[in-house]
Structure 1
Amino acid sequence: MRNLAALLDSTAAKHPGRTAIVFGDSRLSYAQLDAASNQVANLLAAHGVRPGDKVALSCPNLPHFTIIYFGILKAGATVVPLNVLLKPREIACHLDDSDAVAYFAFEGTTDLPIGESAAQAFEETEDCRSLFIVPAAAAPPPWADQPADFDTVDVDDDETAVILYTSGTTGRPKGAELRHRNMRDNALAGEDLFAADAENPDTYLCVLPLFHSFGQTVIQNGAVAFGGTMVMLPRFDARAALTLMLTETVTFFAGVPTMYWGLLGALGDGADGPALAANLRVAVAGGSALPGEVHKEFKARFGVTILEGYGLSETSPVASFAVYGREPRVGSIGLPIPGVEMKLINDDWSDVPDGPEAIGEIAIKGHNVMKGYYGRPEATGEALRNGWFRSGDLATKDADGFYYIVDRAKDMIIRGGFNVYPREIEELLLTHPAVSLVAVVGVPHDSHGEEIKAVVVRNPGHDDVTEHDIVSWTKERLAAYKYPRIVEFRDTLPMTATGKILKREI
């Protein structure tokens, strides 16, 4: 069986009584997870969803996400996970671009009305036929009356399992098509990377968003592959995370640097450190560089070395990682994982000669590299050549083959672990009647890593438009992690002779 869902089929058959998911006071065994996913697959089949169809999913870190995710896969369809912070306009664009025929959305809360946004977006699309709202209360889910048996559809290894949306420098979101083998092999890499063992499974704190590739592969799919337990936390809160790590005996934590910063701050001078250190086996980080002091303090307080890795949505995501059991090289993203090659290239794809000072763009080849961008042959051709994917990230490589990022993909901003691409925000701002010219940049921020700033040149006659006006206008149109919190007005922007804005001078 080549379907990614076979990971669940296999674990449920071997370990039906093991706890798959912990959420609050509820416990879900692998047998229960498998049965619920089968019900989702039957629901989709009853609504005419066929193998190869695309099914979208908007849900925070709740058991529903994993149930629906594997149910879509069991039906032979492709999962299109969407960020729960997206606004209706953005959701509709993703539904249209992915050709989604069905859409699952968690009802949400007053503060985050996911279901309302989903319904509005659904009405704005023509080809999405079915909308399933998953209730937030104790009401039965849409699949409750479906049979709990379903024969997982076998698929070709190269069929698309997941489409993950990632913005590009053009600002237009692109859907990275990840094959079943891409996602499966990346999840199973945990055996080499973290010494994952199905006979002694880990308990994972699941706080990285599951709609993102990091949480989806390393936590969810990794846990299912090795029969581990996921302790779900829908939103990161350092104190709540520490409490769960203690009460649920968490052995595996993965997070972005700001989460580690938060955990250390919440631990304070309390006595929890030794107890946490006694349980925790693995800690992994990604998203952006982890400061050396955080490495040092976390090892002292929690008893484990943080393993830093590197990857992108287009690489399923893991491409390189620090070596388990060895002291980290602070600042390094590690070595390519087994089955993956990396090298440094120039703009013309030629190889950069080896040398300690040599800087080049990281190119990646291996079992983890995507099929391409859905419906975007031009963008695919620019990103892929002879099996190599160009990352856009500049790096150096030391004599032992360890890579070090020196600059991020062009102008990308990383805010709280989320990738934000300025061009998308700039294109939206240029539709505001007061905006003549704009440059969006990242500025340092203590807890988020970077904050988003828009530098605006106003059109004549719009001097009464304020910073607050611009912030409020974008907040209504962009996901919460995308809109600029800082706005600065200028008379001009620095430019090159060819008319390109010099962001490094802003």
Structure 2
Amino acid sequence: MNRPWLNRYDEGVPQSLTYPSLRVFDFLDGAAKRFPRQTCTLYEGHAISYARMAELTDQLARGLIALGLQKGERVSILLPNLPQYVLAYYAVLKAGGIVSAMNPAYTAREIEYQIQDSGSVFLIAGESSRALVEQLSSDLPLRKKIFTALEDAFTMQDWYPQPESGLDSHKRTTFTLEEITRWSFAGMDRKSEVASDDVAIFQYSGGTTGIPKAAVGLHRNLVANTLQFRAWLSGMEDARETALLAIPLYHVYGMVVGMSVATSMAARMVLIPNPRDLPKLLDAIQTYQVSFFPGVPTLYALINQHPLVQSGEVNLRSIRACISGSAPLLEEVRVRFESLTGAKLMEGYGLSEAPTATHCNPMLGEKRPGSIGLPLPDVDCRIVSLEDGETDLPVGEAGELLIRGPQVMQGYHNRPEETRQTLRNGWLYTGDIARMDEDGYFYVLDRKKDLIKVSGYQVWPREVEEVIATHPSVQEVGVAGIPHPVRGEAVKAWVVVKPGHALSADDIIQWCKQSLVYYKIPIEVEFLERLPRSTVGKLLRRVLVEQHRRAA
């Protein structure tokens, strides 16, 4: 296979890696052995060392096993970015369980669906969610519910075992995270003989293209992706970095590129539950001298626009490496952010089915505008025909992106037909339309399902969005196809105008006429105060189309 991207790797980044038979929690335990006093989590000024976090996860793992958690059973975690999330995540894995993480903003219906679909037998949730959890259907497979209060983040450092064992608690169904972690089990093994080939996570897709489904990720899948990104971050040093974790840890992006990569290099993890609180986020960067900051384009753009950043009152020069994912990164956002911080902002690409990333622009080398970058070490890619899904296309031509690598999932939970459609002959069919240039840089043009067919012509929403986004009065834009009685489909744009600016639909249409062929020009423009996005910044085109149909 021709791999032109290998010639574009940064110096020192290997073309291939060796993948030891590790479990995900081995990164935590390894950091605790090598750097026991190094800070693991930082939340609101409260620090927990790697050695202490490893002990706490051992304690909780014993408690979960004592409560009856069997190897391979699923545990739903319903928590924001708190030290308790880190504790629960690694403890479940040490106990032999499978993590099924959920957005703490979910409604009862969404929680019930994921618990039922995953077959979760335990639920670990925030105290603020207790009333919602108690309303859940009694028909769910849940056996135990475990709650933790926000204030626990400030006391869990001191959760040492107490004399009472808690073994008589099998009759109860509701517990607190603190009481289980404090149980004493002298001589009891804290792990359930977990192997690298065992399942670690059920990662649910955001549901933006239909019903959410769980991608099954093995320990070795997550370990491979962690090691790939650790190798990619040229110049980052073990036990000398500070990572800002503002992207949700319940999403595979934050889980792997954030938490797991940070743990693999024994970095301090500054936890931010609410990234929309920009003053607190900016203060954390400056106070803790953050050096590694994975995020999403909208967050970098908001930082660029913040008055304290523009005036220079907030110093962001400690940041050295940023990875942008989940949505396209505009070149103007990247250039501005790098000029303000001196950091390297790299656009990457990933999906829940390859938890989490497969491509990234080089940290030190050339970053090409609009490109998701180069395949990571040991990732192979093909661009195949949209017509037959098999014919390899020449360099520069657009087709479906196929991926093969050690991080690719094992399939979808309880969805054999969708697994067969997605995993074929050793390749993951991503559903994304992409092209590769002669140097091995890849460019995602759009989702295959989002492709708009106007009178038989193919229109990629992202191409139209990129044109409209260059208008000086446009803050955000989304484009999708809407039904049309003659053309079959037509292009519609939803636009958010910058504060203090004025725009009309005709302004947008005339702007597009300068850069787009006639059938790509929106026939309709709607102005919104904000665009619907997922928790990690993905534009929800399906929601826009549904709103249009209801209005029509």
Is this a same-fold pair by TM over 0.5?
yes
Query: 1:271 corresponds to which letter in structure 2?
Result: G
Counterparts of 1:330 and 1:489, CA distance in 2: 34
Distance 2:48 2:421 in 1: 44
- Name the CA distance, whole Å, in 1 between partners of 2:408 and 2:493: 28
Aligned to 2:102: 82
Does residue 1:259 correspond to 2:299, yes or no? yes
Q: Which moved more, 1:147-156 or 1:326-335?
A: 147-156
**Amino acid of the residue matched to residue 86 of structure 1?**
Y
Amino acid corresponding to residue 66 of structure 1 in structure 2? V
Q: For 1:101, which of 113, 116, 121 is the aligned residue?
A: 121
TM-score by length of 1: 0.79
| Structure 1 residue 298: Cα displacement | 1.2
- Which has the larger Rg? 2
Taking the aligned partners of 1:120 and 1:5, their CA distance within structure 2 comes to: 33
Number of residue pairs aligned between Structure 1 and Structure 2: 431
Q: Name the counterpart of 1:224.
A: 263
Q: TM-score, normalised by structure 2?
A: 0.73
1:26 maps onto 2:46 in alignment: yes
Residue identity in the other structure for 1:23: Y
CA contact (8 A) 2:244 2:272 kept: yes
Deviation at 1:259, TM superposition (A): 0.1
Q: Residue 361 in 1 paired to residue 400 in 2? A: yes
Aligned counterparts of 1:250 and 1:170: Cα–Cα separation in 2: 35
Residue of structure 2 equivalent to 1:392:
431
* Counterpart pick for 1:345 among 348, 372, 384: 384
Q: Check the 8 A contact 1:208/1:255 in 2, yes or no.
A: yes
TM-fit CA distance, 1:150: 4.7
* Structure 2, unpaired ranges of 5+: 1-20, 156-176, 452-460, 463-477, 481-489, 499-531, 533-538
CA distance in 2, matches of 1:2, 1:189: 14
Aligned to 1:246: 286
Q: For residue 350 of structure 2, what is the amino acid of its counterpart?
A: G
**Could you tell me how far apart the structure 2 residues matched to 1:125 and 1:181 are?**
34
Contact 2:238 2:267 in 1 (8 A): no
Q: CA deviation at 1:14?
A: 1.4
Q: CA deviation at 1:135?
A: 1.9
Letter in 1 for 2:435: T
Gaps of 5+ in 1: 109-113, 415-419, 423-438, 448-473, 475-480, 493-506
Counterpart residue type for residue 125 of structure 1: D
Distance 1:125 1:105, change over 3 A: farther
**Aligned pairs (5 A) from 1:108-257:** 108=128, 114-121=129-136, 123-138=137-152, 141-147=178-184, 150-167=189-206, 171-195=210-234, 197=236, 199-236=238-275, 237-257=277-297
Rounded to whole Å, the distance in 1 between the matches of 2:448 and 2:105 is: 23
Counterparts of 1:356-505 in structure 2, within 5 Å, are: 356=396, 358-411=397-450, 443-445=494-496, 487-488=547-548
Q: Deviations over 1:272-294 (max 9, x none)?
A: 46x422x1110110111111111
The answer on whether the counterparts of 2:41 and 2:271 sit within 8 Å (CA) in structure 1 is yes
Residue among 279, 286, 297 paired with 2:336: 297
2:87 — aligned with what? 67
Instruction: Check 1:222–1:169 CA distance in 2 against 1; reply closer, same or farther (3 A cut).
Output: closer
Query: Residue 270 of structure 1: CA displacement?
Result: 2.3
Q: Which residue of 2 aligns with 1:269?
A: 310
Contact 1:41 1:150 in 2 (8 A): no
Residue of structure 2 in register with 1:111 after alignment: none
CA contact under 8 A between 1:239 and 1:263: conserved in structure 2? no
Given residue 141 of structure 2, which amino acid in structure 1 is its aligned partner? D
Alignment-derived partner of residue 171 in structure 2: none
1:134 touches 1:142 (CA, 8 Å); kept in 2? no
SS at the partner of 2:298? helix
Q: CA RMSD in A?
A: 3.0
Match of 1:288 among 303, 327, 334: 327
Summarize the Cα distance change of 1:19–1:354 in structure 2 as closer, same or farther, 3 Å threshold: same
Mapped partners of 1:285, 1:169: distance in 2: 20
Deviations 1:206-255 (A, max 9, x none): 10000011111011011111101100110112222111110001001111
Matching residue's letter, 1:14: R
Q: Distance in 1 between matches of 2:284 and 2:363?
A: 24
Cα distance in 2 for partners of 1:488, 1:4 equals 44
Q: Give the aligned residue type for 2:296.
A: V
Alpha-carbon offset, residue 83 of structure 1? 1.3
Quote the residue 2:470 is aligned against: none
Q: SS where residue 100 of structure 1 aligns?
A: coil
Mapped contact 2:94–2:194 kept (Cα < 8 A): no
Residue among 337, 343, 350 paired with 1:311: 350
Contact 1:5–1:152 (Cα < 8 Å) also in 2: no
Residue 47 of structure 1: CA displacement?
Answer: 1.1
Q: Give the drift of 1:488.
A: 4.8
Higher mean C-alpha deviation, range 195-204 or range 378-387? 195-204
Partner amino acid, structure 2, of 1:50: Q
Take 1:196 and 1:177, find their aligned partners in 2: how far apart are those partners? 32
Distance 1:171 1:375 in 2: 16
Q: State whether residues 345 and 363 of structure 2, in contact with CA within 8 Å, keep that contact through their aligned partners in structure 1.
A: no
Percent identity (aligned): 31
Q: Answer yes or no: is 1:335 the counterpart of 2:374.
A: yes
SS for the counterpart of 1:263 is helix
What amino acid maps onto 2:358 in structure 1? A
Secondary structure, aligned partner of 2:105: coil
Change over 3 Å in CA distance of 1:160–1:446 after alignment to 2: farther
**3-state SS of paired residue (1:252):** coil
Is the 1:135–1:141 contact (alpha carbons within 8 Å) kept by the matching residues of 2? Answer: no
